[in-house]
Amino acid sequence: MKIALYAGVAVLALFAGVAGAQAQTRDQIRIVGSSTVFPYTQAVAEQFAAATGGTAPVVESTGTGGGMQIFCGGVGVDHPDITGASRAMKKSEFELCVQNGVDSVTEVLIGYDGLSIAHSQQGPALALTKAQVFQALASEVEVNGAIVANPYKNWNEIDPSLPASAITVFGPPPTSGTRDAFVELVMLSGCADFPAIAALEGDRKEEVCERMRQDGPFIEAGENDNLIVQRLNADTNALGIFGYSFLYENSDSLKPVAVNGVEPSFETIADGSYSVSRPLYIYLKNAHKGVIPGLAEFVTEYVSEASFGEGGYLSERGLIPLPAEQRDATRAAVENSTAMAAPAK
Amino acid sequence: MTDAIAPAFVATADLSSPEAVQRRKRRYAADLRLRIYGVAAIATAIGLLGVLLLTLVIGGYSAFVQTHARIDFAIPAEQVNPADPAKANWRAIVAQGLQAVLPEAGSPAAQRAMGQILTNNTQFIVRDAVLRNPSVIGGTLTLDVPVADPFDQLQKGVIRRDTPEENRRVSDQQIAWFDALATQGRISTPFNWGLIFNADSRFPELAGLSGAIVGSFYALLVCFVVSFPVGIAAAAYLEEFAPKNRWTDIIEVNINNLAAVPSIVFGLLGLAVFIQIFGLPRSAPIVGGLVLALMTLPTIIIVTRNALKAVPPSIREAALGMGASRHQMIMHHVLPLALPGILTGTIIGLAQALGETAPLLLVGMNAFITSPPGGIMEASTALPTQIYIWADSPERGFVARTSAGILVLLAFLLVMNAIAIFLRQRLERKW
Q: In terms of pTM, does the model score above 0.90? A: no
Q: Mind listing the pLDDT tens digit for each residue in A6-45?
A: 655 555 555 554 444 444 577 889 999 888 888 899 989 9
B392/A53 touch (CB, cutoff 8 Å), yes or no: no
Residue B214 forms part of a structural domain: yes
Residue B241 forms part of a structural domain: yes
List, in sequence order, every residue forming a beta bridge with A285; answer none if it has no partner: A105
B367/A59 touch (CB, cutoff 8 Å), yes or no: yes
Burial of A85 (0-12, 13-18, 19+ CB in 10 A): buried
The residue among B32 and A165 whose pLDDT is bigger is B32
Rounded to whole angstroms, the Cα distance separating A293 from A298 reads 9
Give rounded-to-5 percent helix, strand, coil for chain B: 65, 5, 30
Task: Tell which residue, B338, B320, B349, B323, has the closest CA to residue B239.
Answer: B338
Q: In sequence order, which residues have a C-beta less than 8 Å from that of residue B259 and are 6 or more positions away?
A: B298, B299, B302
Average pLDDT of every residue of chain A = 84
Q: Mind listing the pLDDT tens digit for each residue in A103-145?
A: 899 999 999 888 889 999 888 888 899 989 999 998 888 888 8
The residue among A206 and B21 whose pLDDT is bigger is B21
Domain boundary among B191, B222, B241: B191
Q: Which residues of chain A are within 8 Å of residue B370 when distances are taken between CB atoms?
A: 45-46, 49-50, 56
Residue B82 forms part of a structural domain: yes
Residue B205 forms part of a structural domain: no
The verdict on B329 and B249 lying in the same domain is: yes
pLDDT of A273 reads 86
B379/A28 touch (CB, cutoff 8 Å), yes or no: yes
pLDDT of B286 reads 94
B370/A49 touch (CB, cutoff 8 Å), yes or no: yes
The verdict on A251 and A240 lying in the same domain is: yes
The residue among A5 and B311 whose pLDDT is bigger is B311
**Which residue range forms the structural domain that includes residue A57?**
28-113+279-335
Q: Mind listing the pLDDT tens digit for each residue in B285-304?
A: 999 999 999 999 999 999 99
Count how many domains chain B has. 3
Are A39 and A59 a contacting pair, CB within 8 Å? no
**Which residue range forms the structural domain that includes residue B158?**
65-191
Distance of residue A38 Cα from the nearest chain B Cα, in angstroms = 9
Q: Mind listing the pLDDT tens digit for each residue in A59-101?
A: 988 888 888 988 998 898 888 999 999 888 889 999 999 999 9
Residue B130 forms part of a structural domain: yes
Percent of residues, chain A, with pLDDT higher than 90: 18
- The DSSP H or E segment spanning B181 is helix B172-183
CA atoms within 13 A on the CB side of B92: 7
Q: Which residues of chain B are within 8 Å of residue A1 when distances are taken between CB atoms?
A: 331, 335-336
Residue B166 forms part of a structural domain: yes
The verdict on A257 and A132 lying in the same domain is: yes
3-state SS track over A126-140: CEECHHHHHHHHECE
Q: Which residues of chain A are within 8 Å of residue B396 when distances are taken between CB atoms?
A: 249-250
A1/B331 touch (CB, cutoff 8 Å), yes or no: yes
- Any A CB within 8 A of B86 CB: yes
Which residues of B, range 389-408, sit inside 8 Å of A by Cβ?
389, 391-396, 398-399
Q: Which residues of chain B are within 8 Å of residue A50 when distances are taken between CB atoms?
A: 121, 124, 370
The verdict on A194 and A66 lying in the same domain is: no
List, in sequence order, every residue forming a beta bridge with A59; answer none if it has no partner: A31, B368
Residue in chain B closest to A44 (alpha carbons) equals: B202
For the ranges A169-178, A247-256, A334-343, B203-212, which has the lowest average pLDDT?
A: A169-178
Residue in chain B closest to A57 (alpha carbons) equals: B369
Residue B198 forms part of a structural domain: no
Compute CA distances B271 → A61, A68, B191, whole Å.
Answer: 16, 16, 40
Residue B27 forms part of a structural domain: yes
The verdict on B110 and B129 lying in the same domain is: yes
- Any A CB within 8 A of B229 CB: yes
Q: In sequence order, which residues have a C-beta less than 8 Å from that of residue B367 and are 6 or more positions away?
A: A58, A59, A60, B283, B379, B380, B381
A39/B279 touch (CB, cutoff 8 Å), yes or no: no
The verdict on B293 and B400 lying in the same domain is: yes
- Any B CB within 8 A of A121 CB: yes
For the ranges A155-169, A191-205, A219-233, B351-365, which has the lowest average pLDDT?
A: A219-233
B370/A45 touch (CB, cutoff 8 Å), yes or no: yes
- Any B CB within 8 A of A45 CB: yes
| CATH, residue A308 | 3.40.190.10
Count how many domains chain A has. 2
List, in sequence order, every residue forming a beta bridge with B74; answer none if it has no partner: B140
- B405 Cα distance to chain centroid: 7
Residue B16 CB neighbour total at 10 angstroms: 6
* Mean pLDDT, chain B cut into blocks of 10 residues (431 residues total): 50 78 93 96 96 92 92 86 78 85 75 85 88 86 91 89 81 89 91 92 91 94 95 92 90 90 91 88 92 94 93 93 93 91 91 92 88 88 93 86 94 92 81 67
Residue in chain B closest to A32 (alpha carbons) equals: B367
The verdict on A220 and A129 lying in the same domain is: yes
| pLDDT at A250 > cutoff 90 | no
